[in-house]
């Protein structure tokens, strides 16, 4: 659940756009170009800034998200200089490599995380939930894909978008596991939500910031077409070094009215250093263990909205079976699923309103090892 390179420094330019440099990772010779919304009283389009650049090798276009318009492209030096000088470009960010972190695999069959979500005390074995179970909601999984034919999904999983390759399969398993926790019939929080796969990471768990942004941009465009009468949740069990472009795209998802749950990260560090968890409008989720302690790997800080079970979580896998793995990647879908579950009962809610609700509904002071400056909140469905 980790992006291996981070955007950190801003190089001031005499004219036009800022250039945001990527630190570390593999140089991609690719850039994310973010346009200004308005210039000289008129809306800025991609074609406006392409004029005079010659043949631009665009790899992604971003046209639908609220407050986020632009493209990703492999640029030569002349094209890059021209875009940096354009008054219609807000900023340019070097694309960066993306990768999920290694998951800790175990052979245990414990389904403790789901039970914890509906109990005021640890070590329960029963998951209590309202029979609506997220019916009428849609859950987007921006990840490695979903094995849509898995029995856990009962035909409720659909391929929606693929920004990696032409293979609509989950070659990794991570996305299928996440989807199972959100909406699987056995392991899911919201057992009647519809699941939509948006593939931004390949079978090794690798991708780029531009792919992740394309996935978020796609969700904003696609969700209104899906008849999600009770509301939309979006899960991003990935993240990495702080990125202005990734944060902007995440903010656009929330501004469009959708609940966005993101992983706090597995670096044992302050979540403010990473994206999209450092974006203030998202709901960043840290991880706990079965004994209600903060997981040793979990990120922390003021940006963490709440915690959820993340260690040794059993869910669906891409071979048609199940697997138990650990990470804030596993905690996040508990909260995304909780969002879908609550919308199934209450009806549609904005992303910010839902994040406020899951924080207010959380159990307070139950988690050991939470550092000062981090809210001690544990996800809870009300015990219904």
| Residue-by-residue DSSP string for 21-46 | EEESS---S-EEEEE-SEETTEE--H
At 7-56, the pLDDT tens digits run: 233 333 335 677 887 754 455 778 999 988 877 777 888 888 888 888 88
Residue with the bigger pLDDT between 112 and 136: it is 136
Distance separating the N- and C-terminal Cα atoms of the chain: 32
* DSSP letter for each residue of 223-253: GGGS--TTEEEEEE---EE--HHHHHHHHHH
Question: Which pLDDT score, from 0 to 100, does residue 146 have?
Answer: 99
Of the CA atoms within 13 Å of residue 14, those in its CB half-sphere come to 2
CA separation, residue 187 to residues 109, 172, 196, 258 (Å) = 11, 19, 17, 23
At 113-160, the pLDDT tens digits run: 999 998 899 988 888 888 889 999 999 999 999 999 999 999 999 999
Average pLDDT of the residues in 236-264: 95
- As a whole number of angstroms, the distance between CA 5 and CA 26 comes to 8
Phi, psi angles (nearest 5°) of residue 196: -125, 120
Phi, psi angles (nearest 5°) of residue 259: -80, 120
- As a whole number of angstroms, the distance between CA 287 and CA 53 comes to 47
Provide the CA 187 distance to its chain's centre, in angstroms.
Answer: 20
pLDDT band at 384 (very low <50, low <70, confident <90, very high): low
Of these residues, 243, 298, 329, 334, which one is catalytic?
329
- As a whole number of angstroms, the distance between CA 153 and CA 255 comes to 29
Question: Which pLDDT score, from 0 to 100, does residue 348 have?
Answer: 95
Of these residues, 101, 111, 174, 298, which one is catalytic?
174
Between vectors from CA 358 to CA 111 and to CA 152, what angle results, nearest 5°? 35
Of these residues, 95, 143, 202, 270, which one is catalytic?
143
At 356-373, the pLDDT tens digits run: 999 999 999 999 999 999
Question: Which pLDDT score, from 0 to 100, does residue 315 have?
Answer: 96
Average pLDDT of the residues in 274-302: 97
- As a whole number of angstroms, the distance between CA 59 and CA 32 comes to 10
177 assigned to active site:
no
Residues 6+ away with beta carbon under 8 Å from 4: 24, 25, 26, 96, 97, 98, 99, 240
**Residue that is written with structure tokens 């903010």 in the block:** 251
Residue with the bigger pLDDT between 303 and 52: it is 303
Residue 206: is its pLDDT beyond 90? no
Q: pTM for this structure?
A: 0.87
* DSSP letter for each residue of 64-108: SSTT--EEEEE--HHHHHHHHT-TTEEEEEE--EEEPPPP--B--
Computed over every residue of the chain, the mean pLDDT equals 89
- Are 19 and 83 in contact by the 8 Å Cβ rule? The answer is no
Question: Which pLDDT score, from 0 to 100, does residue 6 have?
Answer: 27
143 assigned to active site:
yes
Collapsed DSSP state (helix, strand, coil) of residue 151: helix
174 assigned to active site:
yes
pLDDT band at 101 (very low <50, low <70, confident <90, very high): low
Residue 333: is its pLDDT beyond 70? yes
- Are 25 and 4 in contact by the 8 Å Cβ rule? The answer is yes
CA separation, residue 49 to residues 42, 218, 226, 272 (Å) = 13, 22, 33, 33
Phi, psi angles (nearest 5°) of residue 356: -60, -40
Of the CA atoms within 13 Å of residue 189, those in its CB half-sphere come to 37
Question: Which pLDDT score, from 0 to 100, does residue 109 have?
Answer: 45
Domains of the chain, earliest start first: 6-97 (3.30.70.80), 99-378 (3.40.50.200)
- Are 261 and 338 in contact by the 8 Å Cβ rule? The answer is no
At 57-93, the pLDDT tens digits run: 888 988 866 678 899 999 988 999 999 989 899 999 9
Residues 6+ away with beta carbon under 8 Å from 346: none
Of the CA atoms within 13 Å of residue 112, those in its CB half-sphere come to 20
Task: Please give the helix or strand (H or E) that residue 335 lies within, else none.
Answer: helix 328-346
> Which of 23-27, 106-110, 276-280, 323-327 has the weakest average pLDDT?
106-110
Provide, rounded to the nearest whole percent, the portion of the chain with pLDDT above 70: 90
Question: Which pLDDT score, from 0 to 100, does residue 131 have?
Answer: 85
Length of the chain equals 384
Residue 323: is its pLDDT beyond 90? yes
If we measure between CA atoms, which residue out of 205, 244, 214 comes closest to residue 62? Answer: 214
- Are 116 and 45 in contact by the 8 Å Cβ rule? The answer is no
Q: In 3-state terms, the chain is what percent helix, strand and coil (to 5)?
A: 25, 30, 45
Question: Which pLDDT score, from 0 to 100, does residue 354 have?
Answer: 97
**Residue that is written with structure tokens 């696609």 in the block:** 222
**Residue that is written with structure tokens 């693929």 in the block:** 162
């Amino acid at each position: 659940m980790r992006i291996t390179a981070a955007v950190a420094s801003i190089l001031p330019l005499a004219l036009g756009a800022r250039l945001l440099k990527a630190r570390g990772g593999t140089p991609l010779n690719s850039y994310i170009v973010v346009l200004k919304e308005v210039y000289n009283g008129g809306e800025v389009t991609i074609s406006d800034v392409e004029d005079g650049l010659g043949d631009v090798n665009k790899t992604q276009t971003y046209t639908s998200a609220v407050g986020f318009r632009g493209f990703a492209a492999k640029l030569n030096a002349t094209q890059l200089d021209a875009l940096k000088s354009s008054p219609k470009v807000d900023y340019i960010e070097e694309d960066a490599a993306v990768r999920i972190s290694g998951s800790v695999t175990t052979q245990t069959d414990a389904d403790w995380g789901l039970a914890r979500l509906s109990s005021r005390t640890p070590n329960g074995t029963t998951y209590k939930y309202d029979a609506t179970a997220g019916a009428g909601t849609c859950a987007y999984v921006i990840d490695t894909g979903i094995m849509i034919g898995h029995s856990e999904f009962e035909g409720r999983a659909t391929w929606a978008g693929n920004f990696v390759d032409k293979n609509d399969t989950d070659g990794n398993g991570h996305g299928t596991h996440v989807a199972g926790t959100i909406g699987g019939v056995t392991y899911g929080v919201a057992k009647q939500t519809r699941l939509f796969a948006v593939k931004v990471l390949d079978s090794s768990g690798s991708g780029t910031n531009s792919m992740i942004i394309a996935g978020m941009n796609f969700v904003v465009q696609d969700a209104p077409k899906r008849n999600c009468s009770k509301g939309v949740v979006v899960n991003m069990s990935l993240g990495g070094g702080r990125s202005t472009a990734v944060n902007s795209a995440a903010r656009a998802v929330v501004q469009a009215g959708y609940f966005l749950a993101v992983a706090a990260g597995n670096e044992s560090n302050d979540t403010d250093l990473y994206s999209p968890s450092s974006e203030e409008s998202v709901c960043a989720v840290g991880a706990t263990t079965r004994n209600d302690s903060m997981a040793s790997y979990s990120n922390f800080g003021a940006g963490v909205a709440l915690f959820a079970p993340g260690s040794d979580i059993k869910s669906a896998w891409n071979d048609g079976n199940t697997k138990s793995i650990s990470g804030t990647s596993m905690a996040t879908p508990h909260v995304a699923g909780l969002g879908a579950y609550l919308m199934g009962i209450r009806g549609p809610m904005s992303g910010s309103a839902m994040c406020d609700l899951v924080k207010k509904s959380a159990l307070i002071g139950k988690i050991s090892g939470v550092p000062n400056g981090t809210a001690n909140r544990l996800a809870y469905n009300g015990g219904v």
